[in-house]
Structures are given as C-alpha cells and as structure tokens.
Structure 1
C-alpha cells in the first residue's frame, strides 16, 4: 500500500500538494537555525586568521 493510500489520499498529487509546503517551511526554519549557530560560533572563532610558524 502506498503512503498516499495509507493517508487516505486519492492519489500522490494530493499527498505532494499537502506536504510539500510543510517541508519547505521546515527547511526555512532549519536554515535559520543553522545560520544562528554559525553566527554564535563565529563570535568565538575567527576563521582564516591563524598563522603557521615556519621552521
């Protein structure tokens, strides 16, 4: 049995229409959370500023 049928949808189009918007919104939230984490990390670590000593 397909997911569409288990959810009581007549066809896959209904399932995609229903859940694709939810997935897009979750991706937006996730992207914001990742950006927030990196901005906090960036306060403590300055990327590309370390210099290696030559022997």
Structure 2
C-alpha cells in the first residue's frame, strides 16, 4: 500500500515553511486546531515544545 504524502505550507514564527505529512496526519492536525481554537497554531506549539526540549538538554 502506497502512502499519500501531502506537502503544505504553514506559517511558523512569521516564516512560511513547507511540511510533508501523510494525509491522515493533516486531517488530525486540522481537527485538533479546530477543537482548541487557539490563536497559536498547533505547529507553532509543537515547535515551542521542541525548542524547550532542546534547550533543557544543553
């Protein structure tokens, strides 16, 4: 079975970046963002958590 990978552009900290994820992940990401209705996108939140994890390891 071939996976459907979709590339989309998102804004991350005022920069336009391209992400390639399986369709199911895009659907889940959209559902989570719609559910939480925050002004900060889920992608920005994940990036923030990633940055915190990187800084805590230094």
Shorter-chain TM-score tier: 0.3 to 0.5
Greater fraction of residues in helix? 1
Greater fraction of residues in strand? 2
TM (norm. structure 2) is: 0.33
Greater relative contact order, per chain length (Cα 8 Å cut-off, separation 6+):
2
The structure with the larger Rg is: 1
TM (norm. structure 1) is: 0.35
